[in-house]
Structure 1
Amino acid sequence: MAKDSEKKTCGQVMDEWKEFFWNPRTHEFLGRTASSWGLILLFYLIFYICLAGMFALTMYVMLLTLDDYNPTYRDRLATPGMMIQPKGKALEIVYNIEDTESWDMYVHSLNTFLSTYNDSHQALSNKECTPNELFTQADSGDIKNNPKRSCQFNRTILEACSGLTDPYYGYDVGKPCVLVKLNRVIGMLPGKNNQSPNVTCKVKKDNENAVRELSFYPPDAAFNIMYFPYYGKKSQVNYSQPLVAVKFQNISVNTDVSVECKINSEAIANPTSERDKFAGRVSFKLRINQKV
């Protein structure tokens, strides 16, 4: 144990720290001379420049392998996902017929979503295709056939769910419309032997009798194969996803109704996993409240 006489005073400690920061005799700053600091800073400068150069070169080589119009690597799902419009909160469409504000947001959502499907907009942007035929647009070797055309999907195809004849999509009278769409997958051919995949909807077992009549638009409830294959957002800038509208003509009020819509096609694998609730199907809850 050091004796009290050997202990350094506060002034001595401060002097040692001052000398460490700057030693006027040796001209050292933090224990190094100017030349020593210069050499070490030069070393790290060259080191980080080389490191940045290697990173830039790696990124450049990687970017050379990418195609601006088609992903080089992608996980192709055996069964594409499905979604509805309007989505509501957590795929729940709940409203009160007497309360206009409760269903106005669904009407507004459908109007916004369908605005690009107006016939006039489709006529200007897209091509009138031949139904039941794949709209294939192959490239000529290394020459890309871009931008690629897209087929028209006119809003009028949805008839009673187009928002043109009924601006409220049936929500004001308890006969709501729900739009079903298939998620985009580049290069997917959902049809087989010129057969377009179609959509079927059913009420889950809890309330099988809650829905007594469904109407589909187009009437065959199909995604016509003329809208496939899809070539990507950059290749087909004006691509319009085909839609199927489901109108609930006769549904029990004040009841939670669980509905499941799914895609049916020989070219698409049937959903096999209960973990992915959106693979080839979509489930949502519909509840219409009304004073009795």
Structure 2
Amino acid sequence: MAKDGEKKTCGQVMDEWKEFIWNPRTHEFLGRTASSWGLILLFYLIFYIFLAGMFVLTMYVMLLTLDEYQPTYQDRLATPGMMIRPKLESLEITYNIENTESWDKYVQALDAFLTPYNNSQQVMNNKECTPDTYFVQEDSGEIRNNPKRSCQFNRTMLEECSGITDRDYGYRAGKPCILIKLNRVIGMLPGKDGKSPYVTCGAKKEDAANMGALVYYPPNGTFNLMYFPYYGKRAQVNYTQPLVAVKFMNATFNTDINVECKINSNTIAEPQSDRDKFAGRVSFKLRINEAKN
């Protein structure tokens, strides 16, 4: 062995490492005997089996509290979100009347979105309900009333914005249609006393004169009460989300128009903050260009 203060040779260092890995005198491997290694491995085996058992038990108990048809707890905004269609990469609808390709993408997007709303499909899948009344479908004690029925929302209810009478949804004529939908919220009752929530759209002060007149479909831009409450995707497999169409009748051409549409209801709270721009409202930009001579 080297004396204190003397530098160890490479051979001495290697001998010490070899002895640490396997000591033939004490029969120790990495500083532990076989019995010591056995005890520590047994401890960790029992420890991890216990942890795995606790995890499985916790998951089992948690799953017992879940309802496969409805969330046990719903942490959501007091005001549901809104969205528009067509919606491509951004909330901006810009096109040139003379350039068919610039607005054909919007027409195709609306055609695809409204396909499930065809009258034939609605009659086949959904029920004709009583307007202005909630379509409540209670369970009978422990007996689930599933799958629940849904009310028809026929494409023809959108009239000039249905894509049936006008295949271009007004885009060719410079009178485009925008569809608005309210996000689904399980159990939400958005009106009372027979008053359905309705949509209103407006423009910022500097754009108000450029927006022109609007026409809403269905009349008054209402989301009829018969489409509520929503019971969830699994319980209400054929649910058809109600829509409101807004048609811009004489918007000023070659000008940016910043539009905001919002939901009005006697039970849905007004947005408390401007942080969430989709809570009870949706904002988008509309620009209709016209080729100049």
- Bucket of the pairwise TM-score, normalised by the shorter protein: over 0.9
Q: What secondary structure sits across from 1:83 in the alignment?
A: strand
Matches of 1:63 and 1:56 in 2, distance apart? 11
Other-structure match for 2:58: 58
Q: 1:147 to 1:18 in 2, by over 3 A?
A: same
Matches of 1:77 and 1:15 in 2, distance apart? 69
Other-structure match for 1:164: 164
Give the alignment of 1:237-276 within 5 angstroms.
237-276=237-276
Task: Give CA-to-partner distance per residue, 1:141-199, whole Å, 9 cap, x none.
Answer: 12221111100111111111112222221222221110011111111111211121111
Matches of 1:220 and 1:244 in 2, distance apart? 9
Q: Does 1:282 align with 2:282?
A: yes
Other-structure match for 2:19: 19
Other-structure match for 1:10: 10
Higher alpha-carbon deviation: 68-77 or 281-290 = 68-77
TM-superposed CA distance for 1:105, in Å, is 2.2
Task: Give CA-to-partner distance per residue, 1:204-255, whole Å, 9 cap, x none.
Answer: 1111111222111112211110101111111111111100001112111111
Matches of 1:22 and 1:104 in 2, distance apart? 78
Matches of 1:88 and 1:214 in 2, distance apart? 23
Q: 1:24 to 1:153 in 2, by over 3 A?
A: same
Matches of 1:3 and 1:26 in 2, distance apart? 24
Give the alignment of 1:1-292 within 5 angstroms.
6-292=6-292
TM-superposed CA distance for 1:103, in Å, is 2.0
TM-superposed CA distance for 1:274, in Å, is 2.2
Q: 1:60 to 1:4 in 2, by over 3 A?
A: closer
Query: Number of paired residues?
Result: 291
Q: What secondary structure sits across from 1:55 in the alignment?
A: helix
TM-superposed CA distance for 1:5, in Å, is 7.9
Matches of 1:64 and 1:84 in 2, distance apart? 38
The one-letter amino acid of 2:252's match is S
Matches of 2:217 and 2:197 in 1, distance apart? 14
Q: 1:5 to 1:75 in 2, by over 3 A?
A: closer
Gap regions ≥5 residues in structure 1: none
Matches of 1:198 and 1:287 in 2, distance apart? 25
TM-superposed CA distance for 1:126, in Å, is 0.9
Higher alpha-carbon deviation: 124-133 or 89-98 = 89-98
Q: 1:8 to 1:291 in 2, by over 3 A?
A: same
Task: Give CA-to-partner distance per residue, 1:48-73, whole Å, 9 cap, x none.
Answer: 01011011111111111111111111
TM-superposed CA distance for 1:6, in Å, is 2.2
Q: TM-score, normalised by structure 2?
A: 0.93
TM-superposed CA distance for 1:4, in Å, is 9.6
Matches of 1:226 and 1:262 in 2, distance apart? 20
Matches of 1:76 and 1:15 in 2, distance apart? 67
Q: TM-score, normalised by structure 1?
A: 0.94
Higher alpha-carbon deviation: 83-92 or 50-59 = 83-92
Question: What is the RMSD of the two structures over their aligned residues, measured on CA atoms?
Answer: 1.8
Matches of 1:19 and 1:171 in 2, distance apart? 86
Q: 1:13 to 1:176 in 2, by over 3 A?
A: same
